[in-house]
Structure formats: structure tokens, C-alpha cells
Amino acid sequence: MGLFPRATETFELGLPVGPDSNVYYVDPVNGDDDYKGTSPKKPMLTITAAYAACTDGQNDVVALLGNASSITLSAALVWAKSYTHLVGMCAPTNVGQRSRIFQLSTLTAASPLLSITGSGCIFKNFYIFQGVDDNTSLVNVQVSGGRNYFENVHFAGGGHATQAIDGGCSLKLAGAEECKFVGCTIGVDTIAAATGMAGMILDTGAIRNTFERCNFTMLAGHAAAKFIEVADATGVLRYLILRDCLFINIGATAMTSAFTIPTGVGSTVRILAKGCSVLNAADWESDNRGILYLDSGTITAGGNAGLMAVSAST
């Protein structure tokens, strides 16, 4: 198999393949939307053209070639086709992958910039960044569809000070069900996050979602920034699993609480953080709603279990 897969080779990329599956290549430097895009020698220029060529339910793939330029979206993108996959063809770094998608600097009200409403899709190995001077573009990626899989994706929202505010987030699960995130990065550490900025928001009954070996990153500019926010009493249902995840605040300001959970969340809801650690937050969940469960070793006591401390502290 060569560097770039033919449709019959998508399974070797860890992707499903069907008898009619196609791979559409996108190159923001050398592409042309007049090409069919089925060969890396004649790729399309834009992700929107490649997505338009895909057929719902056919396990088609959009392959985004990594190079010195990004795909720049001039309009918000809705990924509504189920069993349609997006893969970055670049070095599989965890942060700032060179297969990348940006918001056009003059685009406003792109909230979310990418909305995933389809189900059964695979997203791998790319960087999606929202960093423009517009306080109406606050949600970077929103997932509403079910049973989607994300691997090595960097969700980078709040990349400008006007966006890193209350209501802003890098990732929002809005009714998403049974999705899985592996080795992803959620957040940025270059812009000071103001009051209310969240790495991820859970809303509209997000249910049975799992995060494994993911990094939540932030530069908190205010103690009321947070890594994960449950939007309201029905924001999350059943359970959310966080396994071997790191929550890293590199700001000079410590967060009051890594999680914010409102009153009224049902007694059958559980957020399970197994093998997780948080840096530079005073508590995991300062309101103690009885929803968040930890298995970390205790450094001080109670709700402070698993807090990381500098070696010089006592």
C-alpha cells in the first residue's frame, strides 16, 4: 500500500470500507475543486467540496493532506452524512497537527464552526482551530450525532481573547450519545480564559460518552474558568467516562473548580474519572454535587484527591 490509500485500502487506515467507498483528497496548497479528488495527484482544494462529493452512509473518506497551509472555512460546516469519515494525512502529533482547519478571520457567528450531526463517523489526526476576533463564534466543534469516534484530534477553541469567554468552549457534546474520544487534546494554552470559558460543555442529555488518554489544556485567566461544564440539570445522562486523562492549567491563576455541575442533576448520573490528574485547580468539583467519582490517590483529603502539587510543596 502506498502513502495514500485507495478506496479499497481504507480498512488498513483503521476505517470501514464498503463496495462503493471512495476517498476524496484535499490539499489546501495544490488542490483544485474542479478535480474529482480521487487521487492525491489531483486533490480538491476545499473540504466543503470533498464533503459534498461524499455519499451518506457509504463509508466515504475525506483525506486532508498536511502541509504548510490550512483549510480555511469561509462558512460553518455541518457534517450531517453518517458513516462518512475525515482523516488528516500528517504526522500523528497530539497538538497542532499539520492537517488543520481554521476559521476565516472575517467569518462571524460560526458557532459551532464544525457541527457533527451524522452518526457512525470516524475523525482522526487533525487540528481544528477557532481563533478570530468575534464574540459570536464561541463553540469550536459541536457533536450531536451518536456513536462517532475521534482519535488524535485537537479541538482548539477560544483561540482569541474575544472568544475565550463565558459560553465559549473547544468541544460541546449536545445530545451526543455513545461517542468515544481517544488521545485527543481539548483546549488551548495560549489565550487567557475568562470567567465561564470551558474546555468542554455537556448539554442536551449527552449520554454514555467516553474519553481515553485525552489532555484538557487551558491557560486560566480567571478562577472561574473550567475544564468541563455541565450546562444544566439534564446536560448529561447516565454516565461520562474519563480514563487516564490529564487536566492541565498552565495559567498563573488556579481554577476554583476543574468541573462545574449545577444543582438538580439526576441521582443516576455519574461522571467517572479513572486514573486522572488535574494541575492548578483548587478542587475537582467544589460544589460537591455527588456526581463526580475519582479513584485517584489522596494527596490532602476528600475532594482534593488526585490534585497534582509541585515537589517543593508540603
Taking only the tens place, the pLDDT of each residue in 275-287 is 999 999 999 999 9
Residue 58: pLDDT above 60? yes
Q: How confident is the model at residue 304 (pLDDT cuts 50, 70, 90)?
A: low
* Residue 124 bridge partners (DSSP): 87, 151
Paired sense of beta strands 198-203 and 169-174, if any:
parallel
pLDDT tens column, 225-270: 999 999 999 999 999 999 999 999 999 999 999 999 999 998 899 9
**What SS3 string covers 91-139?**
CCCCCCCCCEEEECCCCCCCCCCEEECCCCCEEEEEEEECCCCCCCCCE
Report yes or no: 284 and 254 within 8 Å, Cβ to Cβ: no
Please name the amino acid found at residue 96.
G
| pLDDT tens per residue, range 59-70 | 999 999 998 889
Q: For residue 19, what pLDDT is reported? A: 82
List of domains in the chain: 21-68 (no CATH), 70-304 (2.160.20.10)
pLDDT at position 15: 75
Residue 296 confidence class, pLDDT cut points 50, 70, 90: confident
